[in-house]
């Protein structure tokens, strides 16, 4: 059979186009890691989400060299964490669940797009090679605030990235003038490698600085103490800073705070004593009445 040269050309182009289509679909399904969420996914009771170690405090964790896991809780009408930061040249696995209704977790400009069903944990793995900023949106209608449900994903340079967490608080909001003011600080390093950090503490005109080394996946605690008499009566602002992280608050120094507490305690004891005496008197009156009735 004689086939015209133009027909051969079109047949060849059609076959090439089919091959390109097949290659594109294969790359999208395998190369980009696109997969359907199925019954093989891990499950969790929606009522247990807030008590779960992973989703009770959603966070970013380093699990290997250039490997990270991100735990996300989608709920009406926000993502927690609302801003996610990961480093460039990293492989990131997202674990997303919901305690209430169906949502979606879609990172604009990437292949991350999954339905988030209460009772199921959606899992996706993606590689981020270059720094960038991505929006996170919900594509499933979840209620009246659906249009406000959004978040951010930041891919930063390796030099900018760190997983340091700082928590600080005063041991008491009010302190007697004769006691000490104590500010307790907790610093956590969620990276695998040890880090050097500088903790700076300021309270009124008092300040302390300490340089510490925190091993990977470890937490240190520090307590800063200042005599209340050195501060004087009144409200005093305190600040704890660890590199780029800061916590602050206010503590009040009161003269005679312990005396006031003792007086309140004495008043309470007196009230309790009066109540007891009243009960005893009533019991005695009842007994007298019963005795009179018997006669």
- Per-residue pLDDT tens digits for 85-104: 999 999 999 999 999 999 99
| Alpha carbon distance 126, 32 (integer Å) | 8
pLDDT band at 204 (very low <50, low <70, confident <90, very high): confident
| Alpha carbon distance 233, 59 (integer Å) | 40
Predicted local distance difference test score (pLDDT) of residue 256? 83
For residue range 100-119, list pLDDT tens digits in order.
Answer: 999 999 999 888 999 999 98
Which CATH superfamily groups domain 46-156?
Cupredoxins -  blue copper proteins (2.60.40.420)
Lowest-confidence range among 29-38, 132-141, 214-223, 259-268?
259-268
**Domain chopping of the chain, boundaries:** 1-31, 46-156, 164-254
Lowest-confidence range among 13-27, 100-114, 179-193, 275-289?
275-289
List of long-range contacts for 29-33, beta carbons under 8 Å, 24+ apart: 32/111, 33/111, 33/124, 33/125, 33/126
| Alpha carbon distance 87, 147 (integer Å) | 29
Phi, psi of 218 (to 5 degrees): -120, 160
pLDDT band at 121 (very low <50, low <70, confident <90, very high): very high
Which residues are paired to 184 by β-bridges?
169, 223
How many CB atoms within 10 Å of residue 60?
Answer: 19
Closest to 241 measured CA to CA, from 162, 182, 170, 187 = 187
Sign of the alpha-carbon torsion through 44, 80, 90, 216: negative
Q: Which CATH class is domain 164-254?
A: mainly beta
What's the mean per-residue pLDDT of the chain?
85
| Alpha carbon distance 116, 78 (integer Å) | 13
| Alpha carbon distance 75, 84 (integer Å) | 16
Fold identical between 46-156 and 164-254?
yes
15-49 b/e with 16+ CB inside 10 Å = b? Answer: eeeeeeeeeeeeeeeeeeeeeeeeeebeebeeeeb
| Alpha carbon distance 11, 147 (integer Å) | 49
| Alpha carbon distance 147, 89 (integer Å) | 32
The number of C-alpha atoms within 13 Å of 14 and in the hemisphere containing its C-beta is: 6
- Tell me whether the omega of the peptide bond preceding residue 77 falls within 30 degrees of 0, making it cis: yes
Phi, psi of 80 (to 5 degrees): -130, 115
């Amino acid at each position: 059979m004689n086939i015209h040269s133009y027909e051969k050309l079109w047949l060849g182009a059609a076959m090439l186009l089919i091959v390109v289509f097949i290659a594109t679909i294969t790359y999208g399904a395998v190369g980009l890691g696109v997969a359907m969420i199925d019954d093989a996914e891990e499950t969790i009771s929606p009522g247990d989400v807030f008590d779960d170690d992973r989703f009770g405090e959603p966070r970013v964790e380093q699990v290997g060299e250039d490997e990270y896991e991100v735990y996300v809780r989608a709920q009406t009408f926000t993502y927690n964490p609302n801003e996610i930061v990961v480093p460039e040249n990293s492989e990131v696995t997202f674990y997303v669940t919901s305690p209430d209704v169906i949502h979606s977790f879609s990172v604009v400009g990437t292949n991350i797009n999954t339905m988030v069903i209460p009772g199921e944990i959606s899992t996706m793995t993606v590689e981020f090679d270059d720094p960038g900023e991505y929006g996170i949106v919900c594509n499933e209608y979840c209620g009246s605030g659906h249009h406000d449900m959004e978040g951010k994903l930041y891919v930063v340079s390796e030099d900018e990235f760190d997983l340091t967490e700082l928590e600080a608080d005063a041991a008491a909001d009010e302190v007697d003038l004769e006691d000490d003011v104590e500010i307790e600080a907790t610093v956590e390093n969620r990276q695998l490698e040890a880090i050097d950090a500088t903790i700076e503490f300021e309270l009124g005109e008092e300040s302390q600085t300490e340089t510490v080394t925190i091993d990977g996946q470890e937490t240190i605690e520090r307590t800063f103490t200042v005599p209340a008499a050195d501060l004087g009566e009144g409200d005093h602002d305190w600040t704890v800073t660890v590199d780029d992280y800061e916590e602050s608050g206010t503590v009040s120094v009161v003269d005679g705070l312990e005396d006031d507490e003792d007086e309140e305690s004495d008043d309470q004891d007196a009230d309790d004593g009066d109540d007891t005496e009243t009960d005893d008197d009533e019991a005695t009156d009842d007994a007298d009445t019963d005795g009179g009735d018997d006669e």
